[in-house]
């Protein structure tokens, strides 16, 4: 499949809870099915020649959900960190995490670091997992880093450019998303990559994430190739 200039797709994987309710299943079952979809879509992205994929796995706002659901999500995360990402590792996928790690349990952070180390040399696809992530929080954190540099005298205030700012974000080592896909029929960013998606193309799918598949991804990529990206130019 030709993807033209499409290097990086960002996903908001929405609809796990609604999928579970539609199937009269516990919410945790929806999240489990959604995690399985992630593995399938990551492999499909690799087959389509996509080099980068960023997913919104858990936001800073999600911590305010029902404690039982949060605990179930954290336990599912533990399971996938132990074995669920193995298939992606075997498919030459590099995995790294962005977000507020201090909010996560220590054993989870250690598992994240282990996966990052084990997949560091993989090259086919880079999967960036936004976990305990908030876009505004990321911008504030970057601003603090820059302010500290200015305070220490290692950065002149006149040298603060968009490029300098971007180099202090969590995503500094990967290109900005060309395309952002949100599933489940919602039409908002929800504090997800607000800086990085400034010139991204957007696609909103009515499909609930657990039902999202390679066929729909292929259709969206074809739609993307028909768009003309102007980057703010007329």
Catalytic option among 40, 62, 122, 191: 62
The counts of H helices and E strands in the chain are: 8, 6
Question: How many CA atoms does the CB half-sphere of 164 hold within 13 Å?
Answer: 15
Helix/strand/coil percentages in the chain, nearest 5: 50, 15, 35
Residues 6+ away with beta carbon under 8 Å from 220: 179, 181, 203, 205
Helix, strand or coil, per DSSP, at residue 216: helix
Query: Which is it for the CA torsion 188, 74, 97, 149, positive or negative?
Result: positive
- Distance CA(186)–CA(170), nearest Å, equals 25
Q: Catalytic site residue 62?
A: yes
Catalytic option among 14, 16, 168, 176: 14
What residues act catalytically? 14, 62
């Amino acid at each position: 499949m030709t993807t033209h200039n499409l290097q990086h797709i960002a996903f908001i994987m929405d609809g796990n809870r609604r999928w579970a309710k539609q199937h009269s299943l516990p919410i945790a079952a929806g999240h489990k099915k959604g995690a399985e979809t992630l593995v399938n879509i990551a492999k499909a992205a690799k087959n389509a020649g996509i080099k980068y994929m960023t997913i919104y796995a858990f936001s800073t706002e999600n911590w305010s959900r029902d404690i039982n659901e949060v605990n179930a999500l954290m336990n599912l995360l533990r399971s996938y960190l132990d074995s669920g990402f193995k298939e992606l590792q075997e498919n030459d996928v590099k995995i790294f995490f962005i977000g507020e790690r201090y909010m996560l349990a220590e054993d989870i952070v250690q598992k994240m670091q282990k996966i990052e180390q084990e997949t560091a040399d993989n090259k086919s696809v880079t999967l960036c997992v936004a976990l305990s992530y908030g876009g505004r929080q990321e911008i504030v954190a970057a601003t603090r880093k820059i302010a500290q540099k200015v305070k220490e005298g290692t950065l002149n205030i006149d040298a603060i450019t968009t490029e300098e700012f971007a180099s202090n974000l969590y995503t500094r080592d990967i290109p900005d998303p060309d395309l952002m896909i949100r599933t489940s029929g919602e039409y908002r960013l929800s504090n997800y990559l607000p800086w990085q998606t400034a010139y991204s193309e957007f696609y909103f799918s009515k499909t609930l994430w657990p039902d999202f598949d390679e066929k729909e991804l292929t259709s969206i990529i074809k739609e993307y190739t028909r768009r003309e990206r102007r980057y703010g130019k007329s």
